[in-house]
Amino acid sequence: MSDRADIIVVRDGKARVFHHKWGASVLRRMFANGPEASLIEAEGGSYSRAVDDILAGAILDMDRRTLTLIGSTEVICSGGFLGPDRESWAADEVLPSLADNWPGWTLCFEPADRIIEPLVALVRHLGVAVAASKDPYVEPGHFEDPRWRQLTYRLEVPPKS
C-alpha cells in the first residue's frame, strides 16, 4: 500500500505530472520551503503522462505563481510535520502555515476527498491538457455539469518588502 500523490508542474505553458508513491501524507511538508525547493521536491517523483488514482495532489504553477494543494487535511498533514505540540491541523491553518516562504504567490487548498475531480478541473481551467484516468465532468444525471465548482481556501501572500 502507498499514499500516492500526483504533482502537476506548470512551467512555460506546459504541464508535467510527477507521481510520488509516498507523497500524500507529506504533501504539505513538500511545499513548506517555498517555490524553488518545492519545484525540486515535485520533480523528484517519477514522470507520468496521466493523473493516477491518488490520495492527494498539487498544482505548482510557476507561470502564474500559484500553488494549489488538494486532499483531506488529515492525509496531507500527517507525515511527521505537525510539530511537537500538535496532534492535527485544521483546514484553515494549512495555507497560513506555508505563507512565510511563498511571498508574492497565491496559495490555494481544497480539502477534498475526491482528488481527481478538482485537480483535473483546475488544470483544464488553466488551459493545460492533461490525461486523467477519470473524466471529472461526467456523473450520471449531470452530464457536462461538474460537481466541483471552486476552491475552499485561497490566500494571496504579499511580496516581501
Mean pLDDT, rounded, of the chain: 80
What's the mean pLDDT in 2-21? 88
Strand 66-70 and strand 56-61: pairing?
antiparallel
Q: Which of 78, 76, 69, 156 is nearest to 119 (CA)?
A: 69
Q: What is the pLDDT of residues 117-158, one digit of tens each?
A: 677 777 766 766 665 545 554 444 444 445 556 678 889 999
Q: List all residues 6 or more positions away from 150 whose beta carbon is below 8 Å from its beta carbon.
A: none
Query: Which of 3, 49, 50 is closest to 27 using CA atoms?
Result: 3
- Global model pTM greater than 0.75: yes
**pLDDT of amino acid 108:** 92
Give CB contacts under 8 A, 24+ apart, made by 84-91: 89/28, 91/152, 91/153
CA atoms lying within 13 Å on the CB side of residue 17: 23
Closest CA to 34 of 102, 105, 134: 102
Residue 143 is predicted with a pLDDT of 47
Q: According to the model, what pLDDT value does residue 142 have?
A: 45
Q: What is the per-residue pLDDT for 148?
A: 58
Q: How many CA atoms lie within 13 A of 8 on its CB side?
A: 34
